[in-house]
Amino acid sequence: MKLTIKKIAEMAEVSRTTVSRVLNDSGYVSGEARDRVLAVINATGYVPSQQAKSLRTKKTKIIGVILPKLSTETSSRIVNGMNDVFQEHGYNILLTSTNLDFQKEIEYLRLLKSKQVDGIILVATNINPNLTEEILNIDLPFVAIGQEIPGVSCVTNNDYAAAKEMTELLIGKGYESIGFIGVSDSDRAVGYARKQGFLDTIEKHQLVLREEWIQSAQFDIESGYEAMRKIGGELGVSPLPRAVVCVTDRLAIGAMQYIKEKGFHIPTDISVTGMGASEISRMVLPALTTIDFENEKIGQQAAYFLLEQINSNKTEEIKWEINYRLLVRDSI
């Protein structure tokens, strides 16, 4: 038996209006009427349809989230942070994942809009004109995470500064030959910005940088292993750098595996640094020097900005950079 506000009204012998009022604590209801309604609701276990309510109020209390990948630590931490603040404000998350298929970003933007979400957070890994246009036209509270997208609110890391600081740290410790394992420049943040931070610092200190010391990889451990192999070149013939900066922890761990496998010692023979402060980075031996981008905070901040947009009805563009923390551990 499907319960509706109408049935409850009949059972409590009041109008639907009155039931609605006790449901929402709005307007005047006599204590007597309220008690009768409450009694019926308790007895029946009636739960009002958010569906119907939303159709009238234009609020679903649902936030759409678009992730590049569901089961990475970064994603989890970001979603976790967002969820904390959304939950507190009575919002829930409708989750989608593109699995790195960039077409789907646009597809999901539309899907979420059709689901009438109150706002959208996109965890971006790239930007392209189509996507940007779609976002600008979405006409919904919106926040991007991870990439700087012109015209919309963004919460980002200072990837450039982080890479720079990491490189400076190594140079400060006396390392004069440093390699680099990055990812594709199409990822503006992790790929391009971190690489520039590294390169600019190397140049500033006028250090030697052999061509094969700079490698581009995918996001997985194997790829880091492979990239390190390439840096090694013909081992024993071409010179190895004394340190290697990797743009993610997984890449660093892959690189470490190769280095250990070849019988070199970390950090005596060669140092390795990662970025991301994944849980693994702490457990690996030696513990990995890395950068904590504080993903939970990113998620929280994005959530706050989105709620602000939702509540104020204005789409003020706001750019926010989350601080990072350098975690110096045994790998250097």
Partner DNA sequence: CTGAAAGCGCTTACAG
Among 44, 57, 238, 323, binds DNA (CB under 7 A): 57
Among 1, 11, 25, 28, binds DNA (CB under 7 A): 28
The 8 Å CB, 24+ separation contacts for 310-317 are: 310/118, 310/119, 310/141, 315/141, 315/142, 315/153, 316/153, 317/151, 317/152, 317/153
Task: Give me the least distance between CB of 34 and DNA, in Å please.
Answer: 7
> Which of 4, 15, 76, 132: binder of its own copies (CB under 8 A)?
76
Element spanning 272, H or E: strand 271-273
Distance between CA atoms of residues 88 and 132, nearest Å: 30
Min. distance of Cβ 195 from its own copies in angstroms? 26
Q: Does 55 bind DNA (CB under 7 A)?
A: yes
Q: Does 70 bind its own copies (CB under 8 A)?
A: yes
Give the Cα separation of 32 and 28 in Å (integer).
12
| Per CB under 8 A, 54 contacts its own copies | yes
- Are the C-beta atoms of 266 and 256 separated by less than 8 Å? yes
Binding mask 118-157 for its own copies (x = CB under 8 A): -------------------x--------------------
Among the listed residues 1, 43, 44, 49, the single contact to DNA using CB under 7 A: 49
Measured from the CB atom, the residue of 66 and 214 that comes closer to its own copies is 66
281 vs 112, 120, 178, 252, CA distance in Å?
Answer: 35, 31, 20, 9
- Taking CB under 7 A as the rule, does residue 44 contact DNA? no
Phi, psi of 241 (to 5 degrees): -70, 160
User: Minimum distance between the CB of residue 96 and DNA, rounded to whole angstroms?
Assistant: 21
Residue 238, binding choice from DNA, its own copies, none, Cβ under 5 to 8 Å by partner class: none
- Amino acid in position 225: Y
Nearest approach in angstroms of CB 192 to DNA is 40
CA 77 to chain centre: 7
State the residues that interact with its own copies by CB under 8 A: 45, 47-52, 54-55, 60, 62, 70-73, 75-77, 79-80, 83, 87, 92-97, 110-111, 113-116, 137, 253, 279-280, 283-285
